[in-house]
Amino acid sequence: MGVGFLHGVLPQGISRSYFVTPRKISVLTTDEVLFPMNLRQELEEELHVRFSVTVTRDWESMMANVVASPSADLIFLPSYWANTLAHQNLLANVAGIQGELLQRVSTDFVKSRNPETFTFLPIYWMKTGIDTPLDETFQDYLKNKKETFLFLLADEDLLLKHFQTWKEQGLLEQINTKRILTLQLDQLSKASDEGAVETPQNREFRGGPHPFLSALLMWGAAIPANSTQKELALEILEVLTNVEHQEKGLLGTPFNSTFSTVTGKEIPLHRRADFIRDLQLKDTLILESKDQEAPLKLKNDFNFIL
pLDDT tens-place string over residues 117-169? 999 999 999 999 888 888 788 989 999 988 899 999 999 999 999 999 999 99
What domain range includes position 252?
2-125+218-274
Q: For 240-273, what is each residue's pLDDT tens digit? A: 999 999 999 999 899 999 999 999 999 999 999 9
Pair (195, 238) in one structural domain: no
- 13 band by pLDDT with thresholds 50, 70 and 90: low
First to last CA, the chain: 61
Residue 17 burial (CB count, 10 A): 10
E runs forming strands in the chain: 23-29, 49-55, 74-78, 121-131, 149-153, 179-183, 195-200, 215-222, 256-257, 285-286
Pair (155, 252) in one structural domain: no
Is the pLDDT assigned to residue 185 strictly greater than 70?
yes
Q: For 70-92, what is each residue's pLDDT tens digit? A: 999 999 999 999 999 999 999 99
Instruction: Please give the C-alpha separations between residue 209 and each of 141, 151, 180, 201, 296, in angstroms, as whole numbers.
Output: 13, 21, 22, 18, 30
At 231 the three-state DSSP class reads helix
Pair (198, 264) in one structural domain: no
Please state the separation of Cα 6 from the chain's center in Å: 49
Pair (35, 136) in one structural domain: no
Longest dimension (CA), the chain: 83
Pair (40, 187) in one structural domain: no
Instruction: Give the pTM.
Output: 0.90
Pair (24, 157) in one structural domain: no
DSSP code per residue over 212-230: ---EEEEEEEE-BTT-S-H
Number of H helices, E strands in the chain: 11, 10
Is the pLDDT assigned to residue 233 strictly greater than 70?
yes
The number of C-alpha atoms within 13 Å of 290 and in the hemisphere containing its C-beta is 19
Pair (287, 185) in one structural domain: yes
pLDDT at 2: 47
Pair (242, 294) in one structural domain: no
Pair (198, 109) in one structural domain: no
Residue 202: DSSP 8-state: S
Pair (137, 85) in one structural domain: no
Q: What distance in Å separates the CA atoms of residue 122 and residue 267, rounded to the nearest whole number?
A: 18
Q: What distance in Å separates the CA atoms of residue 191 and residue 133, rounded to the nearest whole number?
A: 9
Pair (73, 176) in one structural domain: no
User: How confident is the model over 58-70, as a mean pLDDT?
Assistant: 95
pLDDT at 4: 47
Helix pair angle (37-47, 230-240), 10° resolution: 110
